[in-house]
Structure 1
Amino acid sequence: MCTGINRTPESMGTPLSLDLKEIKGMRFFDPHIHMVSRTTDDYQAMQEAGIIGLIEPAFWVGQPRTGIDTFKDYYSSLIGWERFRSSQFGIRHYCTMGLNSREANNEKLAEQVMELLPHYIYKDGVLGIGEIGFDDQTALEEKYYRLQLELAKEANLPVQVHTPHRDKKRGTTKSMDIALEHGLDPSRVIIDHNTEETVEEVLERGFWAAFTIYPFTKMGNERMVEVVKKYGSERIMVNSAADWGISDPLAVPKTAALMLKMGIDKKEVERVTFYNAVEAFSVTGQLSVDVLNEPLKIDAEEKFEGNTVLRGGQQPKRNTESIIIR
C-alpha cells in the first residue's frame, strides 16, 4: 500500500453515520474518477450528492492492452459514449488523455500510442494530458513521461501526474524535477495522489496538490481534514479516483461533509472540493464556473450512435424508498 499504514477495520474506530444534510445545496467537482468502470447507480448517487462535473483521466483497464485499436476504442469512449452517459444524469464529463505509466513499459505499443495521442488531445472535452508519470519508476516510464510533457507544452495543456504508490516521495520529487526540466509552469501541473509526506514539497514548489480519498490504499478523509487544517486550501484539491476497485464515487462530497463537521470554514471546503480543480483545468477555456453553473438539459429521447441509458423514456432518478421496482 502506498501509505505504508496497515489499516484494518478493527483499527479504524467507530464510523460516523452517513449524513449529507450538511452539504445540501453545495456543488462539487471530482477531478479524477474512472467512470468507464462505474455504474448508472453511481451517476445517480453522484448527481444527488451535488457533483455537477468530473474529469476522467485515461488509465489502464485492469489488464494490459494488446493492440493499438484497444487504445483507440478506449480514447474514443472517453470523448463519446461516456461523456454522453454522464450528461444524461446532469453531470458534465471531461477527460485528460495520455499513456499511463503501467503500459509505458510496453515499448512497441507505447510508440504507437504516442503517434495516436495527437489525434485526441485537441478534441472537445479534453482538458489536459493525463494521467501520466511513474509506477515502478523504470527507464521506459521516464521516457514516455518526458515525451508527453513535451506534447503538453506543444498543445498548451495542463498535465495530470500520477505519482507512484511505491517509493512515493522519491517518485513525486522526480516527477516535479523532470517537469521543471522540460520548462513546464508548475501552475499547469497537477501532482496527484499526494500524502502527508509529499504535500509540503509540492506546495512549496508551486504545483497543484491533488489528494485521492480511496479506502485502505491511499488517503482517508480524516487525514485529509488534518492536511487542510495544517496547509489551508490554496492549490489543494480532493478527488475520488474511483475505479473498478474498492473505491467510493462519493468521496468528494463525503469529505466535504466531514470537513464541515470538523470545523473547517465552508469557503475552504468549497475551494478544495470545487473551485481549485476548476481553476487548475480551465486552461483550454472549455471549463469554468460559469459553464458548470449552466444546468445540463436532460433529454431522455436523445441518443448517442443509436444508444441511450434512459431507455423507453426513463428519467435519471432512482427510488430509494421502496423495494418495488417498476
Structure 2
Amino acid sequence: MRIFDPHIHMTSRTTDDYQAMYAAGVRALVEPAFWLGQPRTSPQSFLDYFDALLGWEPFRAAQYKIAHHCALALNPKEANDPRCVPVLEELPRYLLKDGVVAVGEIGYDSMTPAEDRALAAQLELAAEHGLPALVHTPHRDKRAGLRRTLDVVAESKLSVEQVLVDHLNETTVAEAKDSGAWLGFSVYPDTKMDEHRMVAVLREYGCERVLVNSAADWGRSDPLKTRKVAGAMLAAGFGQDDVDRVLWHNPVAFYAQSGRLVLEPAGPGALHEGNSVLRGGE
C-alpha cells in the first residue's frame, strides 16, 4: 500500500515517526507552513523556517525513502500580527523554488479583516505562480468560515479546481463538494475527524476529490492516521482501488497541478549543511 500524506507538519515530529510512517506505507508527503506555537517576531524567522522546509526536512525524509514537498505561506493565525505580515513581500521568491507544490496553509483562524487581506493576497500569488492552494478552514464556526473562504476564492484569479479546502467535517463537506474544490479531512486522535467518521463521510459522498491527512503537529496527533483510515476503509468494505484513490491518486492529482511533484525521494546523502541525522558511530 502506498500512502501520500497531503498535510503533515514533520518539523514537529521525530525521525522515529519517519521510520514508522515508511513502515506503514507512506512514500510521499506535503508539509505546509504553519504556526509553530511560539509566535514569530519578524519576517526573518519565517524565512529560516521556509529554508528548513526546503532543505533540512527533505533531507530527513530522504533517509527513510519518503519524498518530501512543501507548501509555503503566511498562516492565518499570524496574518493578524503586524510583525509577520511583511513576509508576504518575501514569499514570491520562495514560490519559485522546485520543492514548493502549493501556497499554504492560507485561510481563516478567527475570520478577521487581516485574514481576509492575507487570504486574498496569497490566492493571487498562487494564480501568478501557477500553484494550487491549501486552505485552512477555521476550527470554530466552520460553516461560516467555509462560505467566506469560497467567496474569496470566487473573487480571485485562482480556479476553485486548484483549491484544497482542508479541515472539513460533516457540517461542511456538502457545500465544499458542490463548489468544485478538492476536499481535505484531517484525522486526529481526539479532535477534528477520526477514521470511523471518515469512513461514514466516504460512504455518503464518495471518494472523488477527497484527500485524507494526519496533519500531525506539536499537539496530540498521530502521523499514522492515514494508514488507520486505510484499514478502516477496508474493514468497512471499500475496495483497494478506493483506498488507493483516496490515499494516493487524489493527492498526486491535486499537487501535480504545480508541475513540480517528484514522487521518488532524492538519494539520502550523508550530510546537509554539514549536519547528519545519524547519532552514534557515524
**TM-score normalised to the size of structure 2?**
0.97
Indicate which of 148, 151, 157 corresponds to 1:183: 157
- Offset at residue 108 of structure 1 (A): 4.0
1-structure distance, mates of 2:280, 2:257: 39
Indicate which of 138, 154, 166 corresponds to 2:140: 166
2-structure distance, mates of 1:125, 1:188: 18
Structure-1 residue corresponding to 2:273: 305
Equivalent residues of 1:100, 1:132 under 8 A apart: yes
Equivalent residues of 2:67, 2:265 under 8 A apart: no
Structure-1 residue corresponding to 2:186: 212
- Offset at residue 185 of structure 1 (A): 1.1
- Offset at residue 296 of structure 1 (A): 5.3
Indicate which of 58, 65, 89 corresponds to 2:64: 89
1-structure distance, mates of 2:221, 2:175: 27
Give, as a single letter, the amino acid of the residue that structure 1 aligns with 2:273. E
Give a deviation string over 1:24-62, Cα, whole Å, max 9, x none.
xx0000000000000011000001111000000000100
- Offset at residue 313 of structure 1 (A): 6.9
2-structure distance, mates of 1:295, 1:38: 19
Indicate which of 192, 196, 199 corresponds to 2:166: 192
2-structure distance, mates of 1:251, 1:68: 33
- Offset at residue 184 of structure 1 (A): 2.0
Return closer, same or farther for 1:166/1:295 CA change in 2, 3 Å cut-off.
closer
Tell me, yes or no, if structure 1 residue 54 matches structure 2 residue 29: yes
Structure-2 residue corresponding to 1:229: 203
Tell me, yes or no, if structure 1 residue 40 matches structure 2 residue 5: no
- Runs of at least 5 residues in structure 2 that lack an aligned partner in the other structure: none
Please identify the structure whose Cα radius of gyration is greater. 1
Please, what is the CA RMSD of the aligned residues? Answer: 1.3
Indicate which of 81, 92, 96 corresponds to 1:122: 96
1-structure distance, mates of 2:71, 2:241: 27
5 Å matches for 1:1-326?
Answer: 26-110=1-85, 112-287=86-261, 291-292=262-263, 294=264, 297-299=267-269, 302-311=270-279
2-structure distance, mates of 1:164, 1:223: 19
1-structure distance, mates of 2:268, 2:114: 44
1-structure distance, mates of 2:50, 2:157: 27
2-structure distance, mates of 1:131, 1:122: 17
Give, as a single letter, the amino acid of the residue that structure 2 aligns with 1:202. A
Identity of aligned residues (%): 51
1-structure distance, mates of 2:88, 2:274: 31
**TM-score normalised to the size of structure 1?**
0.84
Return closer, same or farther for 1:93/1:135 CA change in 2, 3 Å cut-off.
same
2-structure distance, mates of 1:45, 1:174: 38
- Runs of at least 5 residues in structure 1 that lack an aligned partner in the other structure: 1-25, 315-326
2-structure distance, mates of 1:160, 1:189: 6
